[in-house]
Amino acid sequence: MRKVRFIYNPYSGENSIINELDNVIKLHQEVDLTIVPYRIKRGRNLEEALDIIDETYSYILVAGGDGTVDSVVNAMKHRNINLPIGILPVGTANDFGKFISMPQDIQKACKKILDSKPIPVDIGKINDKYFINVASTGLFTDVSQKTDVNLKNTIGKLAYYLKGIEELPNFRRLKIKLTSKECDYDGEMYLLLVFNGKTAGNFNLATQAEITDGKLDVIIFKAIPIIELLPLFIKLLKGEHLDSDKVVYFKTDNVYVESSEDIVTDIDGERGPDFPLRVKCIKGGIEVLGIK
């Protein structure tokens, strides 16, 4: 009987995966697959979850948010494990899961994964770390890092918004230099996002992103007068922001970013590397189940 390594984060979202464990096992047993679970524990190296992986494993099933999926992908890359992954989106933020149209319902997601074939999709790499959805820097990008885990599990995405309000006094212009073969930008900005996916915090920002084009979608929100922010936000809600002269947008497979500002980077809600940043697209970097 073939096996599936099931790596689940019991802290993700509202701990919803805990009540679905039996369904995950049952659905896999029905197609002669044995679930071998690993429960993520804070303070433990996730790579140990891959110690038992051998030729008897068909794929790796991940239950968690974007940050959990990133952690698994990084561990797989470090171990040179090339198995397909399936994603059960049970985190507070599941932007990549939405991008590949994975159902929020665990049983429906499992069935979609089991009925599919693996498809190679792009992933991003920022310095020595991989990411599936978005790397960012600038204002508010570390809100997720600063938000208490227990609060996120209690009130969900509202916790992010509350933390964002706390950060408003830090609103300021930031100097950044960005270099790529498609575009150079040397100036002030509020926010830089480099997308492999489409959404961040439920906002559809990279509206033209594709999962297999070998490109990342770069969006810079320029530092503009406060009075011009509301019209830009309205454009964003309509999906028209990429055409604005207040935004720099382009696709690339390789971009270099420098900044001397006292700001951090973020990779899908987790702390990213320090500047300077080399961000690349790894075309077909991982195989994913359940896409179609």
**pTM of the full predicted structure?**
0.89
Active-site residue numbers? 270
pLDDT confidence of residue 170: 60
Q: Is the pLDDT of residue 153 over 70?
A: no
Higher pLDDT among residues 83 and 93, named by residue: 83
Report the CATH fold assignment for 129-283. Tumour Suppressor Smad4 (2.60.200)
Instruction: Report the candidate in 272, 289, 286 with the shortest Cα–Cα distance to residue 126.
Output: 272
For 188-215, the pLDDT digits (tens) are 999 999 999 999 877 899 999 999 999 9
Q: Which helix (H) or strand (E) holds 136?
A: strand 134-138
Domain pair 2-115 / 129-283, same fold: no
Q: Which residue ranges make up each domain of the chain?
A: 2-115, 129-283
Average pLDDT over residues 106-134: 97
Q: What are the pLDDT digits (tens) for 32-79?
A: 999 999 999 988 899 999 999 999 999 999 999 999 999 999 999 999
Contact by Cβ (8 Å): 195, 134: yes
Q: Give 2-115's CATH code, choosing from 3.40.720.10, 3.40.50.300, 1.10.150.570, 3.40.50.10330.
A: 3.40.50.10330
Q: What is the pLDDT of residue 82?
A: 96
CA pair distance 136, 276, nearest whole angstrom = 13
- Answer with the residue of higher pLDDT: 50 or 157: 50
164-168 contact pairs (CB < 8 A, 24+): 164/140, 167/139, 167/140, 167/143
